A and B are shown apart, each in its own frame.
Chain A
Amino acid sequence: MKPAPFRYHRAASLEDAIATLASAGPDDDVRVIAGGQSLGPMLNLRLVRPTVLVDIHRIEALRAIEPLPDGGVRIGACVTHAQLEDLPPGGAFSAANPAVFPAGLADVLRHVAGGIAYRAIRCRGTIGGSLAHADPAADWPSALAALGATIELTGPAGRRNVAARDFCHGLFETAIEPGEVLAAILLPGSGIRRWGRGKHCRKAGEFAHALAVCIDRGGDGVEVWLGATGAAPVAIALDRAFVDGVAGSRASAALRRTRMRERIAASLPAAIAPGDAYARHLHAQVAAEAVIDAMANP
């Protein structure tokens, strides 16, 4: 189980990485590797066979978590899941940077990061790598879409931003153009009123079979984002009155979940697991749990 031969370049800087991508020949298949927790096994199984591998994980500039002037947060592409799992609750970014991390955002990031695979994988796997890889069953694509993140891409023509909700195009397909590197994830700092999450795995640490994140920012509607659908994350918009009605109902918990699940199932796109009643049930169930979980938060 060894990868097919490839040339390996460890990039010293983002510029170096972009230059290396740009210098690839017409017959080259260039892949960027960061933590290697998904790409590594795929290389070894020879499911991907790049001719050139550009390793960006030593680029210090991509490993920073920084405050943004608007109160948001910029997370470098090579920040590991473990770094986010270990964010101090409501604390400063770091000793050198006394700005306070937005508390609600930190809670969501900690929760999502801490649920990814196993600690050993979280110590090497990166948020940017996971997003760029765009495995639909991964945790970040739906979570970052729900959080309203913006993805910062850098290429030979400079920098451009793509909304996380438009970033994943399908199975292993993203908005990244040839020659571009995913450099950072930009997150809005305020506005999370309540949040909730649902996830179903057959065993701990496995890729999810159903995944949902609900971020409530107030307003007329509540959006729940579904992952692990086999393609790009999917948003289902729920009417505020309906959500409040279910959440505030005196019915039993089972009945409230059933009402929420049936409402979500009615909006579940037909393209998700067509013909598989259990998988479709599970997506609706897990999404309902995320919404109800969010509404139960103070």
Chain B
Amino acid sequence: MDTADAADRAGAGPGESATHAESGAYASVGHPVPRSEDERHLHGAGRFVADIAWPGALHLAFVRSTVAHGVLRSVRAPALEAGESFWTAADLQDIAHPIVAKLNRPGFQSAPYPCLATDRVRFAGQTIAAVVASSRARAEDLAEMVEVDIDPLPPIASARAAFEPGAPLMHEGWTGNHFMKFTRTFGDFDAAVARAEVHLTRRYRMERLAPSPLETRGCLSVFDRAQGRLLFHTCCQRPHIQRDFLAEQLIGIDQHRIQVLVPDVGGAFGVKTNLYPEELAVAAISIRLGTAVRWIEDRMEHLLSACHARENDESVTIHANRDGEILALEAEYLVDGGAYSMLPSTSAVEANMSANVMPGPYRIRNYRATAMSACTNKAPTGPYRGVGRPAACFAMERTLDELAHVLDMEPHELRRRNLIAADAFPYTSATGLVYDTGNYPPMMDTAVRALGHGEVRAAQQAMAPDARERIGIGYAWYVEQTAHTAKEFFARGSVVLYGFESARIRMDIAGSLTIETSVCSHGQGHATTLAQIASEVTSIPMERIGVRAGDTDVVPYGNGTFASRSVVLAGGAVHQACGRLVERLRAIAANLMQVAPDGLSIGAQAVHGPAGTDPIPFARLAQVALQYVHELPAGIEPGLEFLASYRPPVETGAFSAGVHAAKVAVDIETGAVRLLDYLVVEDCGQTINPMIVDGQVYGGVAQGIGQALLEELRYDAQGQPGTVTLADYLLPGFGEVPEVRIEHQHTLSPFTAYGMKGTGEGGCIGGPAAIGNAVTDALRGLGVSVTRAPVTARDVWTALQAARARDAAGGASEVGAEPAHTWMPSR
């Protein structure tokens, strides 16, 4: 393992000062250590669920609804051959409860989501039946032969239609077609509005997205008759939570008889936090058959039925003074949540999160938020990297640029005027979020300088009046709540409270180390990051530290990887457990040296005593702890296994922040947008591995560019999906993602180990807003502004035509504007 140059180390936090890495013997915290995971993936030697061979495993295919809404009259089995089976809801009702996702918030409405449809289908793609055969191809042949009789009902194909008078009720016993809706007011809102000199209202839409990990969903469920146990191999983010859910849903199998095993996971982004009807059906059927059953989702199934996200219509009003000070903010979010709530985040997660985080990095004390999550005949929505924040950022940052234009200010000046001051931390936002630390104004300066703001303005001035390509720049700010725990989730009404993460550290007799972690990497490089922390604490080199995860029989209980929490919480647990190990090793060494443990130091895999004495290698101490116990005094417990479950002292989270800056060229003849430059200025405190942090940013930015320019799931008025292959649902490729530049700032968290903060989601939050602002900046002189993400060439060109048509009257035009987007249903 290479030891990086000290100059490459990020930051200047407490983690920097007294490290073993100074000796150059091994790499540790703050070093861009190459990822230990990469070799196997680059050699194609990774092992994903679909790679797991299991003798005799059968293949399952689902029969899915082809209509958006209807009464399920009958399902007729195909002609089966020996060893094949056919399953409907009736076959599973006494082994699996329907999934019911709940939120402990007033007015939240829940409904059962059966693993196979019972009497009604509520979206095109919903599972109706399953067939099991010896190959996937045969299972698909059989699935095709299943006869399904559905009486179509009028579909609800948009959030607005859900609230139309006379709309059919989506679920029995509901009081309207909403999962949840609320309005909350913070501060002295009305008085602030009355004081304001400028009132600016804008409306936006962020389209429905498919999170689209490289690896789709999939599982191999094995009922092991010898042990009477269910071995559930799956690709998920939270093995223990998944096991909790399976035990709760499956009837007649106690939790200790369920083992969840997660091999390599090829991306998840929140999609794999849910328990899906498909997964539950596969588990139930494998128990019933007493055998192994495999379901590997294909891309069409993924686009039809895996968790969708966003589809967030927004209305924003900023009330400000003429000098740019924001006095009050009002935001309305209307989200098309789809037909059912996902377990456990529910379909209310997007709108609620948007409403909660909207004020972002700005000093806004007077705020009114409305969040409405509609129930419609589309696939369910749920958490996708960023959850609610890309939409909130899009609405807030786009409107700030509009305000700057009205006030004739530079957008970055307006932002500076409203950023939370560096001395205001810890800062409690209007909605009650507690920002631990931050230092925002210098980040704005960095962005303006690094993007070359002044040069772009000069180039815009110098541009020929009929230039084909117009350049523009845009900024977008966000704060990212990370590593928040039980109290925070309780406050949001979450039924599952994610309070801690765990690590078990085992030193073996050779002095090498194994970490068993409760978090579950789906590409984040935990095996590297966690080993770096262990290496930092123990002085053991990286290559002597193994990391195990993703097996509920092996790893200690914890909640898994989501909500930008793993480095802080699992890293905190590793930090604690390693501290205990070091304490034990010092005690053993002190006894052997016959000195007090206080003066002993750790370094180069040995405990060092007073000057003149020989250091004792860890391997020798391990031998005493594990084998030569006769050398161990009675007061020291044998063994070298340490479990730490880390609950942070502050449960409201460590707040990272970022500003994205985009420079674009817009072709006014075709409407096409080309990214010329993309800059991220980010602050996630102390970085453990700056290269992995950069990787998180790059990947997130690619997803942000996707939602800014390309990605859009379309449904027609009948609720029929129009984007079921990747030829229709456009994901960014490397041709669409420029070389992203990253500038780091390190404002440490006061309560985490090393001052680190999470950084899993920020990369994908700023794209639509920064690019939307840049396109608007480019087209400002032509009277066009962006109101919809993605910003398509068609929308840009159409808006330019409309602006030209209105030019004589001095009108302006909005990219993506449609009449349907201009009203919000009554609350």
In the complex, A285 Cα to B801 Cα: how many Å? 14
Cβ of B672 to closest chain A Cβ, rounded Å? 7
A204 B670 Cβ-Cβ under 8 A:
no
> Which label, helix, strand, loop or mixed, suits the secondary structure of the B interface?
loop
If A200-B793, A281-B797 are given as contacts, then 10 extra A-B residue pairs at C-beta distance below 8 Å, sorted by A number, are: A1-B140, A1-B298, A3-B137, A46-B144, A202-B730, A204-B736, A206-B727, A254-B468, A257-B468, A278-B798
The one of A3, A5, A252 that contacts B466, using a Cβ cutoff of 8 Å: A252
- B residues within 8 A CB of A253? 468
A200 B468 Cβ-Cβ under 8 A:
no
CB of A99 within 8 Å of the partner chain: no
When C-beta atoms are compared, the residue in chain B nearest to A137 turns out to be: B727
**Residue-wise interface mask of A (1-20) relative to B, using a CB-CB cutoff of 8 A (1 in contact, 0 not):** 11111000000000000000
CB of B141 within 8 Å of the partner chain: yes
When C-beta atoms are compared, the residue in chain B nearest to A252 turns out to be: B466
B801 A277 Cβ-Cβ under 8 A:
yes
Q: Which chain A residues numbered 1 to 47 have a C-beta less than 8 Å away from chain B?
A: 1-5, 41, 45-46
CB of A250 within 8 Å of the partner chain: no
Cβ of A272 to closest chain B Cβ, rounded Å? 16
Output the residue of A203, A252, A277 with the most chain B CB within 10 A. A203
- A residues within 8 A CB of B141? 4-5
- A residues within 8 A CB of B467? 254
Give the interface of B toward A (CB within 8 A).
Answer: 136-137, 140-141, 144, 298-300, 464, 466-468, 669-672, 710, 725, 727, 730, 732-733, 735-736, 792-794, 797-798, 801
A203 B793 Cβ-Cβ under 8 A:
no
In the complex, A252 Cα to B298 Cα: how many Å? 51
A2 B137 Cβ-Cβ under 8 A:
yes
- A residues within 8 A CB of B793? 200, 202
10 A-B residue pairs with CB within 8 Å: A4-B144, A5-B141, A45-B725, A204-B733, A205-B735, A254-B466, A254-B467, A254-B468, A255-B466, A278-B794
When C-beta atoms are compared, the residue in chain A nearest to B136 turns out to be: A2
When C-beta atoms are compared, the residue in chain B nearest to A255 turns out to be: B466
CB of A192 within 8 Å of the partner chain: no
In the complex, A207 Cα to B730 Cα: how many Å? 11
CB of A238 within 8 Å of the partner chain: no
In the complex, A46 Cα to B143 Cα: how many Å? 13
In the complex, A155 Cα to B695 Cα: how many Å? 56
When C-beta atoms are compared, the residue in chain A nearest to B300 turns out to be: A1
Cβ of B562 to closest chain A Cβ, rounded Å? 28
B733 A203 Cβ-Cβ under 8 A:
yes
CB of A282 within 8 Å of the partner chain: yes
In the complex, A133 Cα to B772 Cα: how many Å? 39
- B residues within 8 A CB of A277? 798, 801
The one of A1, A45, A203 that contacts B730, using a Cβ cutoff of 8 Å: A203
A2 B730 Cβ-Cβ under 8 A:
no
| Chain A residues with a Cβ closer than 8 Å to the other chain, count | 25
- Known contacts: A204-B735, A204-B736, A205-B733. The answer to whether A1 contacts B299 by CB under 8 A is yes
The one of B299, B464, B730, B798 that contacts A206, using a Cβ cutoff of 8 Å: B730
- B residues within 8 A CB of A200? 670, 672, 793
Cβ of A94 to closest chain B Cβ, rounded Å? 32
- A residues within 8 A CB of B727? 206-207
The one of A4, A5, A203 that contacts B735, using a Cβ cutoff of 8 Å: A203
Cβ of A86 to closest chain B Cβ, rounded Å? 20
Q: Which chain A residues numbered 181 to 212 have a C-beta less than 8 Å away from chain B?
A: 200, 202-207
Give the 4 A-B CB pairs with smallest separation, nearest first. Answer: A204-B735, A1-B298, A2-B137, A254-B466
The one of B140, B710, B792, B797 that contacts A2, using a Cβ cutoff of 8 Å: B140
In the complex, A254 Cα to B463 Cα: how many Å? 13
**Residue-wise interface mask of A (276-297) relative to B, using a CB-CB cutoff of 8 A (1 in contact, 0 not):** 0110011001000000000000
- A residues within 8 A CB of B710? 202-203
In the complex, A203 Cα to B730 Cα: how many Å? 8
Output the residue of B141, B300, B669 with the most chain A CB within 10 A. B669
When C-beta atoms are compared, the residue in chain A nearest to B792 turns out to be: A202
When C-beta atoms are compared, the residue in chain A nearest to B736 turns out to be: A203
- B residues within 8 A CB of A3? 137
- B residues within 8 A CB of A254? 466-468, 669
When C-beta atoms are compared, the residue in chain A nearest to B730 turns out to be: A203
When C-beta atoms are compared, the residue in chain A nearest to B724 turns out to be: A45
- A residues within 8 A CB of B672? 200, 202
- B residues within 8 A CB of A257? 468, 669
- A residues within 8 A CB of B797? 278, 281
Q: Which chain A residues numbered 232 to 286 have a C-beta less than 8 Å away from chain B?
A: 252-255, 257, 277-278, 281-282, 285
- B residues within 8 A CB of A281? 797
- A residues within 8 A CB of B140? 1-2
A45 B466 Cβ-Cβ under 8 A:
no
In the complex, A80 Cα to B104 Cα: how many Å? 60
In the complex, A41 Cα to B726 Cα: how many Å? 11
Cβ of B784 to closest chain A Cβ, rounded Å? 15
Output the residue of A255, A257, A282 with the most chain B CB within 10 A. A282
When C-beta atoms are compared, the residue in chain A nearest to B296 turns out to be: A1
Cβ of A260 to closest chain B Cβ, rounded Å? 11
Cβ of B274 to closest chain A Cβ, rounded Å? 22
In the complex, A1 Cα to B144 Cα: how many Å? 12
When C-beta atoms are compared, the residue in chain A nearest to B671 turns out to be: A278
In the complex, A281 Cα to B670 Cα: how many Å? 8
- B residues within 8 A CB of A204? 733, 735-736
In the complex, A41 Cα to B727 Cα: how many Å? 11
In the complex, A207 Cα to B725 Cα: how many Å? 13
Cβ of A217 to closest chain B Cβ, rounded Å? 28
- A residues within 8 A CB of B801? 277
Cβ of A124 to closest chain B Cβ, rounded Å? 17
- B residues within 8 A CB of A4? 141, 144
In the complex, A205 Cα to B732 Cα: how many Å? 11
When C-beta atoms are compared, the residue in chain A nearest to B299 turns out to be: A1
- B residues within 8 A CB of A206? 727, 730
Cβ of B52 to closest chain A Cβ, rounded Å? 19
- A residues within 8 A CB of B144? 4, 46
Cβ of B721 to closest chain A Cβ, rounded Å? 14
In the complex, A7 Cα to B264 Cα: how many Å? 37
When C-beta atoms are compared, the residue in chain A nearest to B727 turns out to be: A207
- A residues within 8 A CB of B733? 203-205
- B residues within 8 A CB of A41? 725
In the complex, A1 Cα to B59 Cα: how many Å? 13
**Residue-wise interface mask of A (110-147) relative to B, using a CB-CB cutoff of 8 A (1 in contact, 0 not):** 00000000000000000000000000000000000000
Cβ of A177 to closest chain B Cβ, rounded Å? 29
- B residues within 8 A CB of A207? 727
When C-beta atoms are compared, the residue in chain B nearest to A257 turns out to be: B669
**Residue-wise interface mask of A (40-57) relative to B, using a CB-CB cutoff of 8 A (1 in contact, 0 not):** 010001100000000000
When C-beta atoms are compared, the residue in chain A nearest to B467 turns out to be: A254
When C-beta atoms are compared, the residue in chain B nearest to A276 turns out to be: B794
When C-beta atoms are compared, the residue in chain B nearest to A251 turns out to be: B466
- A residues within 8 A CB of B792? 202
In the complex, A91 Cα to B535 Cα: how many Å? 59
When C-beta atoms are compared, the residue in chain A nearest to B301 turns out to be: A1
Cβ of A285 to closest chain B Cβ, rounded Å? 6
In the complex, A129 Cα to B126 Cα: how many Å? 36
Cβ of A47 to closest chain B Cβ, rounded Å? 10
- B residues within 8 A CB of A45? 300, 725
When C-beta atoms are compared, the residue in chain B nearest to A210 turns out to be: B670
Cβ of B628 to closest chain A Cβ, rounded Å? 59
In the complex, A242 Cα to B772 Cα: how many Å? 40
In the complex, A41 Cα to B300 Cα: how many Å? 12
Cβ of B742 to closest chain A Cβ, rounded Å? 24
- B residues within 8 A CB of A46? 144
In the complex, A5 Cα to B467 Cα: how many Å? 56
- A residues within 8 A CB of B725? 41, 45
Cβ of B727 to closest chain A Cβ, rounded Å? 7
**Residue-wise interface mask of A (203-234) relative to B, using a CB-CB cutoff of 8 A (1 in contact, 0 not):** 11111000000000000000000000000000
Cβ of A194 to closest chain B Cβ, rounded Å? 22
- B residues within 8 A CB of A2? 136-137, 140
- Known contacts: A4-B141, A278-B798. The answer to whether A285 contacts B735 by CB under 8 A is no
